[in-house]
Structure 1
Amino acid sequence: MRRPSPSPPAARGPALAAAAAVVVLLPSIFPAIFTPLGRAFPSLFSEWNVPKPMHESLLNEALRRTISNKQKRELWSPLPYQGWKPCLKSSSVHGVPLEPTGYIQVFLDGGLNQQRMGICDAVAVAKILNATLVIPHLEVNPVWKDTSSFEEIFDVDHFINTLKAEVSIVKVLPKEFSWSTREYYGTGIRATRIKTAPVHASASWYLENVSPILQSYGIAAIAPFSHRLAFDDLPVDIQHLRCKVNFQALVFLPHIISLGETLVKRLRSPVQGQSGELIQEVGEDTNQAGKYAVLHLRFDKDMAAHSACDFGGGRAERLALAKYRQVIWQGRVLNSQLTDEELRNLGRCPLTPEEIGLLLAALGFDSRTRIYLASHKVYGGEARISSLRKLFPLMEDKRSLASEEELTNVEGKASVLAALDYYISMHSDIFISASPGNMHNALMAHRTFENMKTIRPNMALLGRIFVNKSMEWLEFQEAVQAGHKGRYGQIRLRKPKQSIYTYPAPDCMCQG
C-alpha cells in the first residue's frame, strides 16, 4: 500500500503556497517569455508532446506513391448487388394495443450512436410489454458534456408517425405522472424504477419483472438501459421493429439535414486553388470525379486512455493517459497489463491518424482524394493529424467546409455534430473508421442495409504490420491489400449473440 506523502512543516506551508502561486502566474504575467518556451519545451507546460512519426520510413515512401488508374477504378466503383434487400414488413396481427398497460420511460447514456441503439431497444421493449413509450431521455454525456435532447436531434413527429401502427408513443407524460422525472429517480430508491435489467435481457425477463410494476403503478422507468435487450430468441416482428426504428423512424431534424446536404454538395464540387485553377478535377476514367470518402477518426482522449496503447507522444502523454485511465476507468482497463507490442499483435490498438493515413494510401487513395474527417476532437489537435494531412491535402471537416454562421445551430453540441457527421457519412461513396466503436458499427450496419461501400480495417493484421519497423512500402502495400480483400462492405450474416445494429442481415433484410 502506498503511504500518503508527508505534509510540509507548518512553517514552510505559506512559503510553498506562495511559490506555487508565482509559478502558476508567471506565464500570464510574462507571456512574451513563456509562450515561446512553451512551444520549445511543451512537456513543461502541457501533458502532450508533438510526436515524431512512428513509421517515418513508410510515411516518406507513401508521400511518393503512385497509384494506377485500374486500382482507382476498382476502389471507387460502387458495390455490386449482393442478393439482399431491405425487408421491414411487419405483421398486422400485432398492432397497437387498444388499452396499453402503462407508460415506459428509459434513460439513455453514452454518445449519439449508443443512444440510437437504446432508442430502438426501447421501442421494442414497449411493444413486448404492450406499453406506451415516452420519448426517451438522453443523459448528459460525461465525456462530451452534451445536454442535447431527443427533440434537438431527431424529428419527433416523424418518429411517432412512422411507428404509430405498431407502438403507442407520447412526447410527455400525462399530468398524473408528471412526478416521474429523472431528478425524482436520482434522489432515492423508487418503486417504479428498474435498476436490475441485465445486459441483453430476454423478452420473458421484461414480462416477468416489468409488467407487474406497470400493473401496480401504471408506469415504469428503466435505468440504466444500454444494451438491455437480447439479440436472439425474439419474435421476428420485434426484430423487424428494431430495424424499422433504426433505418426509417430515426430521422434528423430538417436543419441538420439541410446543413448536411450543403456540405455534401461542397465535397462533391471541384476544388479550386488560390489563383482559381482546378486542383481536384480527377480524370473520368478513374471514377473518382465528384466523389468523396469519409474517415471517422476516433482518436479522442477517452478512447486513447481506454486502449492502454502507446501512441508516440512520449513520457508526458503516457503519464497523462495513465492518470486519466485511473480516474475515469478506475482500473477496469484490463489491457493495461499487456505491453504495447502485445496489444498491437492482438489488434487492440486503435489506429493513429498517421497509421490510418498509411492504410488509406496503401489501399489506393491518392493525394487528390477528397476526404471528409468525421471526428469530434482529436487528442493532440492539429499536430497529431499533420502526417495524415500531408498524405491527403484535400481533407476537410465541418469547420473547413462550413461558415461560422452555418454552424451556429450545431456548435458546442456534440451529439448534434455527431448527427451531422452521420448524415455526411451516409451520403459518401466510401466510409472507413479508424477503429471499431458505436459510430463504426451503426454506419456499417446502415450502409450494409443500403448496399454501400464501407471499408473495415483489419486491426489484427495492421497491428502486426506496424510492429515491424523494417517493412518497406511495396511489401506493406501488398500485405494491406491482400489483408483487406472482402472487407469493402460485403454482406456478413449476423451470428448468435452478435448485434443486429452491426449486422442487419438476415433480420432486417431479405434475399431476392
Structure 2
Amino acid sequence: MIHVAAVPVKPLFVVLVATLSLLLLVSLFSPRPFFSQSSVSLSDKVDIWSVKRVMEWRPCKWWLQGHLTALPAESNGFIRIDCYGGLNQMRRDLCDGIGVARLLNATIVLPKFEVAAYWNESSGFADVFDVDYFIQQMDGFVRVVKELPSEIASKQPFHVDCSKRKGQFDYVESVLPSLLQHHYITITPAMSQRRDRYPKYAKAAYCQACYNALRLTRSLEKKASDLLEAIPKPFLSLHLRFEPDMVAYSQCEYAGLSAESIKAIEAARGDKKPWTGELAHLWRNRGKCPLTPNETALILQALHIPQNTNIYLAAGDGIMELEGLTSVYKNVVAKSAIMSREDFASMHGNTKAALDYHVSINSDSYIATYFGNMDKMVAAMRAFKGLHKTLFLSRRDFANLTSMGLTREDLIQALWKVHVHDFVMGIGSALPDCFCEFKL
C-alpha cells in the first residue's frame, strides 16, 4: 500500500501569499520603463468589434411616434438662440434652446452662431445647415421662422440670462415673464440641463432637432460625401485631441515631448499653470489628461485593432506628436491630405468640423480619445443610425493602470478588459435623453 505524505495546507498558503505579495511590491516600486511602441502580437486575437454585446442604445419610441402634443394656436413670442463655441457645442446649445422654446410655447428665429471668439471667423447657421430642411423637419414640433414680423424686426431682442436655469419650472418662472413682456428675447441655454424634468412634448422637440432636423447645406454635404468616398474602406474614424490649447487647458504635464510641442503648449498656456506633485498625480488619475498619440496607439493595439487598419483622423489642425500614432498605424489619413489645397484652405473651422462629423457618423467604426461635445453627438447619431461599433477610450483607466506599474503585456491585457466591458455594455455610446436601453 502506497502512503502519500500529508502536505500542511496552512504553511503552503502562507508561502504562496508571501510570494505574491513580494512580486506585487517589486512591480509597484521597481522603476517603470515607458511602454514600448513595438508591435504587439495580435495574430491569434479578434478585435474588440467582434465581441458580442449584451446591450445597445436605440431611439426611444415615444419621440419617433410623432409630436405627442399639438402646438397651441398662439405663440407666446419669439426666441433667438445664441450659440457659442465649436460646431458641436453650438449644436448642443441649439437643441437645448429648441426644447426650451417648445416648453415656453415660443417661435424660433433662426439661431445666431457666435463663432468669432472660437474660430476667428464669421460663418453662421446657414453656412453649415440647410435652413429649409430644418424648418420642414421641425414642423409640428416647434414653430420656426426665417424672418420676424415687421412690427418686431426693427427691435433689438431682450437678452435673458439662462446660465443658472436647469429644468422646466426654472424656465417657466424666470424666462417666460420676459418673453411675454418683450415678445422677442435671446437665450443661451444652461450647459447643465435637466431635460428629465421636461414634459415629453418638449423632449420630443429637442430630440427631433438633434437627430432629424440638422442636415448640412447641399454644397457642404457634397464636399463631405466626396471626402467620405475618397477614404479607403473599411475604415476607423479616430477623434484625437492633443492640440496645444487642449493640453494647456487640461493643466497636465507630459514627459518626453519634443521641444516644438513644449513651445506650442507654453504659448497656449497663458495663466493656466500645470498641476505638480501629488495634485498632478490625482488629476491624471481622475482622467483629466488628454491621451497622447503614443498612448492612443498602445490602447488601439490592446483592443486588437490591426496595424493595417485604415484610420481617418477626425481632428483639428495642430495635433502634436502625431508620429506616436503613425509609426504604429501606417494607414492614417486626414482631410487636409485628401482634399485639394484650395478647397481645404477656403473652409472655416466650423465647416471643417462638419466634415469630420459627417465622416465619423458614417464610418465603419468610431473611437474617441475624449468625451467632448463632438464625441457625444457622433456616438448618439451613430446609435440613431444603428451603427454600434463605437467606443470611448478611458483616460482614467489608462492613468490608473499605468500608475499601478503595469507595463507591456500586463497593461495591454488590463486595457483590453476595461474597454471590452464598456463596449459590451454600450457605456457612453448615446445620450440618454432620446435613447433607451435595448438588451440584445
Matched, 1:58 2:26: no
Pairwise CA distance, 1:480:
1.2
Correspondence 1:116 to 2:100: no
343 and 124 in structure 1: CA distance in 2 versus 1, 3 angstrom threshold: same
SS in 1 for 2:185: strand
Could you say which residue in structure 1 is the equivalent of 2:317? Answer: 377
Structure 2: 5+ residue stretches without partners: 1-31
Query: Match of 2:108?
Result: 133
Alignment check: 8 A CA contact 1:95 1:167 kept: no
Amino acid at match of 1:240: A
Partner AA of 2:431 in structure 1: P
Contact kept, 8 Å, 1:109 with 1:226, in 2: the verdict is: no
- The answer for the alignment partner of 1:162 in structure 2 is 137
Match of 1:98, SS? coil
Deviation at 1:140, TM superposition (A): 2.1
* Contact 2:45/2:304 (8 A) holds in 1: no
* Residue 341 to residue 318, structure 1, CA distance change in 2 (3 Å): farther
8 Å CA contact 1:116, 1:246 repeated in 2: yes
Is the CA contact (8 Å cut-off) linking 1:96 and 1:164 kept in structure 2? Answer: no
Residue 464 of structure 1 corresponds to: 400
What are the residue-to-residue correspondences of 1:64-463 with 2, within 5 Å? Answer: 65-68=40-43, 70-72=45-47, 75=49, 82=56, 84-87=58-61, 88-89=63-64, 92=67, 94-180=69-155, 192-195=158-161, 197-222=162-187, 224-227=188-191, 229-268=193-232, 290-312=233-255, 313=257, 321=265, 324-327=268-271, 339-380=279-320, 384-407=321-344, 411-451=346-386, 452-463=388-399
> Which amino acid in the other structure matches residue 205 of structure 1?
D
Aligned length in residues: 405
Report the Cα distance in structure 2 between the residues aligned to 1:176 and 1:166, rounded to whole angstroms.
Answer: 25
Aligned to 2:13: none
Secondary structure in structure 1 of the residue aligned to 2:344: coil
Distance 1:96 1:337 in 2: 58
Deviation at 1:200, TM superposition (A): 4.7
Q: Which amino acid is 1:160 matched to?
A: I
1:322-341 per-residue CA deviation (whole Å, 9 max, x = no partner) reads: 674444x6x8x9x6785433
SS in 1 for 2:411: helix
Distance in 2 separating the partners of 1:379 and 1:426: 21
1:398 aligned partner, one-letter code: K
Distance 2:438 2:415 in 1: 32
Aligned residue in 1 for 2:435: 508
Measured after TM superposition, the shift of residue 492 of structure 1 is 4.7
Check if 1:475 corresponds to 2:410: yes
Deviations 1:253-283 (A, max 9, x none): 1222222222222223xxxxxxxxxxxxxxx
Measure how far apart 1:80 and its partner are. Answer: 7.8
CA distance in 2, matches of 1:389, 1:414: 24
C-alpha contact 1:102 1:214 (8 A) present in aligned 2: yes
Q: 1:426 to 1:345 in 2, by over 3 A?
A: same
Counterpart code for 2:105: N
Higher strand share: 2
Q: How far is 1:318 from its partner?
A: 5.9
> Which residue number in structure 1 is paired with residue 27 of structure 2?
none
1:85–1:511 Cα contact (<8 Å) kept:
no
Query: How far apart, CA to CA, are the structure 2 residues paired with 1:125 and 1:336?
Result: 42
Alignment partners' CA distance in 2, 1:490 and 1:450: 18
What is the identity, as a one-letter code, of the residue corresponding to 2:77? Answer: G
Distance 1:101 1:465, change over 3 A: same
Question: What is residue 29 of structure 1 aligned with on the other side?
Answer: none
Specify the code of the residue in structure 2 equivalent to 1:436. F
Identical counterparts, % of pairs:
26
Query: Structure 2 vs 1, CA of residues 320 and 413 (structure 1 numbering), >3 Å: closer, same or farther?
Result: closer
TM-score (normalised: structure 1): 0.71
Q: 3-state SS of the aligned residue for 1:177?
A: helix
- Structure 1 unaligned regions, length at least 5: 1-54, 186-191, 269-289, 494-501
Which residue of 485, 488, 506 corresponds with 2:423? 488
Give the direction of change, closer, same or farther, for the CA distance of 1:57–1:318 in structure 2 (3 Å limit): closer
- Structure 1 residues 165 and 427, CA, compared in 2 at 3 Å: closer, same or farther? same
Name the aligned partner's letter for residue 219 of structure 2: H
